[in-house]
Amino acid sequence: MLSRRSLLQSSAGAAACFASGTWAAKAANAPGFTDTEIKIGQTMPYSGPASAYGVNGRTEVAYCKMTNEMGGVNGRKLNLISLDDGLSPPKTVEQIRRLIELEQVAFIFETLGTASNAAIRPYLNDNKVPQLFVASGDSMFGDPQHYPWTIGFYPNYRSEARNYARHILETKPDAKIAVLYQKPAFVDYLAGLRDGLGADHAAMLVKEVSYEFSEPTVDSQVFTLQAAGADTLIIAATPKFAAQAIRKAYDIGWAPVRYLGYPSASIATVLKPAGLDKSKGLITAFFAKDPTDERWKDDAGYKQWAAFAAKYLTPVDLIDANAVDSFCAAATLVQVLKQCGGDLSRENIMRQAANIKDLELPMLLPGIKINTSPDRFYPIRQMQLAAFDGESWQLFGDLIGN
């Protein structure tokens, strides 16, 4: 397994992975390719307050290594250059320019963070560089009309929050709702909540409080939300702050019904630090199989994941939902490269990313398939609600979304 230090280095230490076709020429519109390799770039927060998401990059580097050991894709392998940006947009811009202009990668894959991706989106679109499978659920990353070179991957936050609103209306129609959210990364949760409540129930939202990524804690925000008299709380936060909010609410004796945004639904990096007992009763939404759920222990897809994690990751990574999500994203990228055949131009890579049909992956929930089209840049549109029982997430209800 590659060390974090190697991930932060340049292409000399980058992982090898993927391959495609026998197209040998390095055309002007297809940099990043040789007869034997494809260069792909990304940035990840390996340092800073969001370093829990570093598992995403480690998983994708490992997936590349596995693919390479299996022969790559059609004989061509890739150097995945995964650089640290600390989830700081200025640093992201700097690193992405380095990847495109100096390393000359073919495209950008799974860079993480709403603000970070928003910062690089104009540059990548102006230069017609694919920004594939953005690691953010913000709805802005599904806008092919204005940004045809940028495509998301995860269910968008707005849709997720609409589903929470509908569940609240069904189960607690007199709820007093409070929202804790990171600004600006998770403002879509507010929009989705208001969409789901509608004008007739808008008054149910009694308080919304944001926090900045640079703040040390969200303790004061939790006190403010409790003081508003809310009995239902939606937590739209990154792992560090989500864990703080769960723990603080419990410690001050506030026991609202709690909904946790899926980016922080990891038992390993959020619920355990917060306290499993303090996390009991949380509700979230999943699109992938929870690796802690015993129902999957004999599932063929889970066995593929477990074998991969055992060989390339750590026991902690095995139960990290974010690692599972990145496993799915990497498998989707391999599918795109396979579809490209011998045409590895940036134009065709983008074309194939927008032409995925009913792709089933080992760790997606049963019934969920990945689909894209030229006017559909949200590959995953379905989820299922789950509640935490103190040990694992338990799915309930039917698939939601479209």
Rounded to an integer, the average pLDDT of 357-364 is 98
Three-class SS of 46-91: CCCCCHHHHHHHHHHHHHHHHHHHCCCECCEEEEEEEEECCCCHHH
Q: Are 69 and 170 found together in one domain?
A: no
Rounded to an integer, the average pLDDT of 361-386 is 96
pLDDT of the residue at 76? 86
What range does the domain containing 266 cover?
157-286
Smallest CA-to-CA distance from 12 within 59, 58, 65, 81 is with 81
Do the beta carbons of residue 195 and residue 165 sit within 8 Å? yes
Taking CA atoms, 399 is separated from 121, 311, 395, in Å, by: 31, 32, 10
Q: Are 140 and 164 found together in one domain?
A: no
**Band of pLDDT at residue 9, cut at 50, 70 and 90:** very low
Q: Are 279 and 374 found together in one domain?
A: no
pLDDT in tens, 103-132: 999 999 999 999 999 999 999 999 999 999
309 lies in a domain?
yes
pLDDT of the residue at 185? 85
Cβ contacts of 360 within 8 Å, gap of 6 or more: 369, 370
Residue 204 has pLDDT above 80, yes or no: yes
392 lies in a domain?
no
pLDDT of the residue at 27? 46
Burial readout 337-375 (b: 16 or more C-beta within 10 A, e: otherwise): bebbeebbbbebbbbbbbebeebebbbbbeebebebeee
Q: Are 150 and 164 found together in one domain?
A: no
Q: Are 8 and 151 found together in one domain?
A: yes
390 lies in a domain?
no
pLDDT in tens, 327-356: 999 999 999 999 998 888 999 999 999 999
pLDDT of the residue at 5? 37
Q: Are 106 and 17 found together in one domain?
A: yes
Q: Are 322 and 338 found together in one domain?
A: yes
Residue 267 has pLDDT above 80, yes or no: yes
3-state secondary structure of 389: coil
In this structure, the number of other CB atoms found within 10 A of the CB of residue 46 comes to 23
Do the beta carbons of residue 78 and residue 38 sit within 8 Å? yes
User: CA 182, 188, 191: angle at the middle one, nearest 5?
Assistant: 120
396 lies in a domain?
no
User: CA 378, 384, 387: angle at the middle one, nearest 5?
Assistant: 135
Residue 2 has pLDDT above 60, yes or no: no
Do the beta carbons of residue 22 and residue 75 sit within 8 Å? yes
**Band of pLDDT at residue 6, cut at 50, 70 and 90:** very low
Residue 11 has pLDDT above 90, yes or no: no
Q: Are 18 and 118 found together in one domain?
A: yes
For residue 161 the two structure tokens come to 């929050």
Rounded to an integer, the average pLDDT of 293-304 is 95
294 lies in a domain?
no
Smallest CA-to-CA distance from 386 within 156, 160, 177 is with 160
List phi, psi (to 5°) of 213: -60, -30
Give the distance, in angstroms, between the CA of residue 64 and the centroid of all CA atoms in the same chain. Answer: 18
For residue 168 the two structure tokens come to 């609240």
395 lies in a domain?
no
pLDDT in tens, 136-147: 999 999 999 999
pLDDT in tens, 33-73: 888 898 999 999 999 989 999 999 999 999 999 999 999 98
Q: Which residue has the higher pLDDT, 50 or 207?
A: 207
Q: Are 350 and 309 found together in one domain?
A: yes
Q: What's the CATH number where 183 sits?
A: 3.40.50.2300
User: Domain total for the chain?
Assistant: 2
Q: Are 203 and 161 found together in one domain?
A: yes
**Band of pLDDT at residue 213, cut at 50, 70 and 90:** confident
Phi-psi region of 146 (alpha: psi -120 to 50; beta: other; left: phi over 0): alpha
Taken in order 28, 34, 35, 40, is the CA torsion positive or negative?
negative
259 lies in a domain?
yes
The rounded mean pLDDT for the chain is: 91
pLDDT in tens, 173-184: 999 999 999 988
User: CA 96, 101, 107: angle at the middle one, nearest 5?
Assistant: 60
Q: Are 10 and 133 found together in one domain?
A: yes
Out of 165-169, 342-346, 363-367, least confident range: 342-346
Cβ contacts of 339 within 8 Å, gap of 6 or more: 352, 355, 356
pLDDT of the residue at 75? 84
pLDDT of the residue at 402? 65
221 lies in a domain?
yes
Q: Are 53 and 145 found together in one domain?
A: yes
Taken in order 87, 321, 59, 158, is the CA torsion positive or negative?
negative
Cβ contacts of 320 within 8 Å, gap of 6 or more: 55, 266, 267, 268, 269, 291
367 vs 233: CA distance, rounded Å: 29
**Band of pLDDT at residue 193, cut at 50, 70 and 90:** very high
